[in-house]
Amino acid sequence: MKKILLGALIAIIFIFTISAIQQGGGASTSKNTNALETSENDGLEKRVKDYNVYSVKLPKKLDFAGEAVPLDQPDIKERVDREFLVNTYWQSNGILLIKRAQKYFPVIEPILKKNGVPDDFKYLAVIESGLQNVTSPAGARGFWQIMPKTGRELGLEVNSNVDERYHLEMATQAACDYLKESKEKFGSWTLAGAAYNAGNGGINKQLEAQGVESYYDLLLGDETGRYVFRILAIKEILKNPKNFGFNVDASHGYDFVPTTKVLVDYEVDDLSAFAKANDINYKILKIHNPWLREPKLNNKTKKEYQIAIPKAGYYD
């Protein structure tokens, strides 16, 4: 009997012990959960304090090439706002554009000025190519994204051996010729800018079909409809980068390497050997002469080309 009572007592003590442990464990879990929740809330609060995204305050007035933008129209304001937001918060691209502009604008600006083309058109080259010698899916190439047929019509040599759409100075001159023709046709630099994207025929067709005279009154496809607004946004950001949160020290920008021109009116069978003869290598030759598309220069007609050779000391 004593043994039975002793066993029952031990069983009761065991049950109470397990219950106490479970209750203690539950309290501990609750404390841990509360601590975890507090930690997560603190982390969220810290992230909110450390990272904020703001809407962009638009300038009260905008113009393209001296032509006012009708910001009082609600659709125009929204379209402008879109491009400012997209380009302000594409931070890495914005910084790269600021750095490249420091390098290439001094080359583009004098050519625009010489041709009487407004300085704002340098930003057209920015939105076309990001100031790089890129190729579009349609076959447009270079900083100014000129199509092969258009390039030839504008006096550029375009073939597999020499493609002057990649020649910055010559392509900028060709772009000026096209823009001046568009301005003469439409009487507006804004429409000339839009025509650079859609073509003179495309813009003229829409003006006639819709019975309007201004780019801002046209209903256009997405690309051309956004085109001038993208230029406006890039113009303001590159002119006043700090106003949009971009902080780029001038010493961090890219600089244009000065060159001398070597006149060549003969065939060059080996451009690598030509480069070495001018104290550089093939890579550097192609960096400064991207219009040379092959490792040789075919020149059966004895045409005069100017090959850029960087001045000594920049690649040593």
Same domain, 176 and 222: yes
Q: What pLDDT, on a 0 to 100 scale, did the predictor assign at position 136?
A: 95
Mean pLDDT of 126-153: 97
Q: What is the pLDDT of residue 316?
A: 80
Mean of all residue pLDDT scores within the chain? 90
Report pLDDT for 173.
98
Phi, psi of 160 (to 5 degrees): -70, -20
The C-alpha atoms of residue 124 and residue 231 are separated, in whole angstroms, by: 6
Q: Is the pLDDT of residue 10 over 70?
A: no
Mark whether 69 and 186 lie in a shared domain: yes
**pLDDT recorded at residue 18:** 47
Location of structure tokens 């092959």:
294
Phi, psi angle pair for 292, to nearest 5°: -80, 105
Residue 24 domain-assigned? no
Tell whether 198 and 98 lie within a shared domain.
Answer: yes
Point out the domain boundary residue: 215, 230, 252: 252
Nearest CA to 60 out of 90, 80, 46, 43 is that of 80
What CATH number does residue 165 fall under? 1.10.530.10
pLDDT for position 53? 86
By the 8 A CB rule, do 176 and 117 touch?
A: yes
What pLDDT is recorded for position 51? 75
Do 195 and 154 have their domain in common? yes
- Do 238 and 283 lie in one domain? The reply is no
Count up the domains in the chain and report the number: 2
Q: 126 and 274, same structural domain?
A: no
Quote the tokens at residue 89: 């918060």
Residue 162 shares a structural domain with residue 178: yes
Report how far apart, in Å, the C-alpha atoms of 295 and of each of 67, 120, 260, 305 are.
Answer: 46, 37, 21, 15
Q: Same structural domain for residues 164 and 295? A: no
Predicted model pTM: 0.84
Higher-pLDDT residue of 68 and 23 is 68
Instruction: At 168, list the tokens.
Output: 């910055």
What's the pLDDT score for residue 5? Answer: 46
Contact 292, 286 (CB under 8 A): yes
Q: Is residue 28 part of a domain?
A: no
Tell me, yes or no, whether 49 lies in a domain: no
Please give the structure tokens belonging to residue 267. 């065939």
**Percentage above 70 pLDDT, the chain:** 84
The pLDDT of 4-19, averaged and rounded, is 50
Please write the tens of the pLDDT for every residue from 188-244. 999 999 999 999 999 999 999 999 999 999 999 999 999 999 999 999 999 999 999
pLDDT at 17 over 70: no
Is 149 in the same domain as 171? yes
The verdict on residue 14 lying in a domain is no
Alpha carbon distance 240, 242 (integer Å): 6
Domain limits for position 269: 259-310
Which residues contact residue 182 at a Cβ distance below 8 angstroms, ignoring those fewer than 6 apart?
Answer: 191, 192, 195, 196, 200, 203
